[in-house]
Structure 1
């Protein structure tokens, strides 16, 4: 039998994948728990995942056995420490985060603003490092948070430097967003994404790529803060330090260091 297009998912690097649908549905349970600010009852999980009550219970029980889910004293479900263990193992195997951490911290100290390191994952940006501003207004982004690529300067840098298959597909899907294609072209030409209240009326940010071997962009390094403090002039002031910090990380992981 031929491959149904409904069964195919195109990966970030253009490969055609056929995921196990039942496994994807089971992972929806973890997604529901991750998005909730509080533990969920079995009934709430059923409502959010469209599982039957029995199927949802069986999935949760399986996760509980592996430590991926736990129950509180009221019988509600929340993410388990097993996920933290897996996340830390993934993090510990990345030279990028080890190298970037002190650079991110130093840049936050010198600029007085929040510094973020984000990577491309499954067509979105996920933050893997953060150094918080010591000033009164802080950023809500944190390691592990995932956002659409078009919603942040970090994501726009990653989109601009993504493979052509992913980039073209993403731009086609978001073609109703005025100027996104032109913005990506500008980032490729200038090497930096600057947002002053245009992506978020309360936020300003600037982001540059971190290059790995073979000129591959591994991540995007970003300085961000409230627009009331980060005017366009202020952003321009710290751009050299941002570019230099990204180059420092790039050099440490074997990538090129010029903008």
Structure 2
């Protein structure tokens, strides 16, 4: 090849089809390679939503590429918090996706409308109140109203992922057939009898003996009746009574009903 030019076997210049701008209808130019990257990232996220986790082998098979290319995608998505490692070989939803999911849910008004209700319950019950959403695999904390009236109280960060044995996970899983969300692989740490009882009462109670913390949770529904969040009281175990008819359980049921009602009529909350 003369003058350093690239060519094919016959010495003819090669057309660069993998890079370069691609014109679109509005006059903007978008690199075709960038479109492919976005498409592949979406493929991997859909695979993750279906399976709960992805690894190098499943990513390569899904994209139809070699493992080295799939690894670059997974590493980049991890660096940008779209993914995070569950263990050495498997990836799960990252913090950024949880944040984006919370923002999307905020557009429905759930997190904003829940605020005053959470504050009222927290002050009355003297406990921390938590609103959680589902990220496809586990509950994620979307809003918190902490109780500070006691010397010892529970503190939870927004964006925290909750485990399968939590009251919130049990609620989401019990009502998965009536949920706004898609559910991947895995399950809550609960028996079918417990899930049936949660569906009957609308209340899940869980206590952690190792951490000394208990939680009571109930579902929050949108105007279509779909479960979009959980509302929970989380506190020191000795201050959180068990039972679906406890004062805290009743406060949560009433609070969740108020949030759902205000989703249908936001002006109701503004009038209070």
TM-score (norm 2): 0.59
Q: 1:147 aligns with which of 145, 153, 162?
A: 162
3-state DSSP of counterpart to 1:228: helix
3-state DSSP of counterpart to 2:196: helix
User: Residues 108-147 of structure 1 correspond to what in structure 2 (within 5 A)?
Assistant: 108-134=122-148, 135-147=150-162
3-state DSSP of counterpart to 2:239: coil
* 8 Å Cα contact 1:206-1:235 kept in structure 2: no
**Structure 1 residues 237 and 154: alpha-carbon distance in aligned structure 2, compared to 1, 3 A threshold:** same
Q: Could you say which residue in structure 1 is the equivalent of 2:26?
A: none
Q: Could you say which residue in structure 2 is the equivalent of 1:44?
A: none
3-state DSSP of counterpart to 1:157: helix
Deviation at 1:237, TM superposition (A): 2.1
Deviations 1:57-86 (A, max 9, x none): xxxxxxxxxxxxxxxxxxxxxx9xx99x97
* 8 Å Cα contact 1:205-1:235 kept in structure 2: no
User: Residues 143-222 of structure 1 correspond to what in structure 2 (within 5 A)?
Assistant: 143-148=158-163, 150-163=164-177, 169-171=185-187, 179-197=190-208, 202-222=212-232
TM-score (norm 1): 0.61
* 8 Å Cα contact 1:12-1:163 kept in structure 2: no
Counterpart check, 1:244 vs 2:258: no
**Structure 1 residues 89 and 240: alpha-carbon distance in aligned structure 2, compared to 1, 3 A threshold:** closer
Deviation at 1:166, TM superposition (A): 6.0
Deviation at 1:31, TM superposition (A): 4.3
> 2: distance between equivalents of 1:197 and 1:9?
33
Deviation at 1:117, TM superposition (A): 0.3
Q: Could you say which residue in structure 2 is the equivalent of 1:11?
A: 49
Moved more, 93-102 or 161-170: 161-170
Between Structure 1 and Structure 2, whose CA radius of gyration is higher? Answer: 2
Deviation at 1:231, TM superposition (A): 3.5
Q: 1:27 aligns with which of 44, 63, 77?
A: 77
Deviation at 1:99, TM superposition (A): 0.6
* 8 Å Cα contact 2:137-2:185 kept in structure 1: no
**Structure 1 residues 193 and 89: alpha-carbon distance in aligned structure 2, compared to 1, 3 A threshold:** closer
3-state DSSP of counterpart to 1:128: strand
Deviation at 1:228, TM superposition (A): 2.6
> 1: distance between equivalents of 2:142 and 2:113?
12
> 1: distance between equivalents of 2:50 and 2:264?
23
3-state DSSP of counterpart to 2:257: helix
Deviation at 1:30, TM superposition (A): 4.1
User: Residues 223-242 of structure 1 correspond to what in structure 2 (within 5 A)?
Assistant: 223-232=233-242, 236-242=246-252
Counterpart check, 1:104 vs 2:118: yes
Deviation at 1:229, TM superposition (A): 2.3
* 8 Å Cα contact 1:157-1:187 kept in structure 2: yes
- Alignment RMSD: 4.1
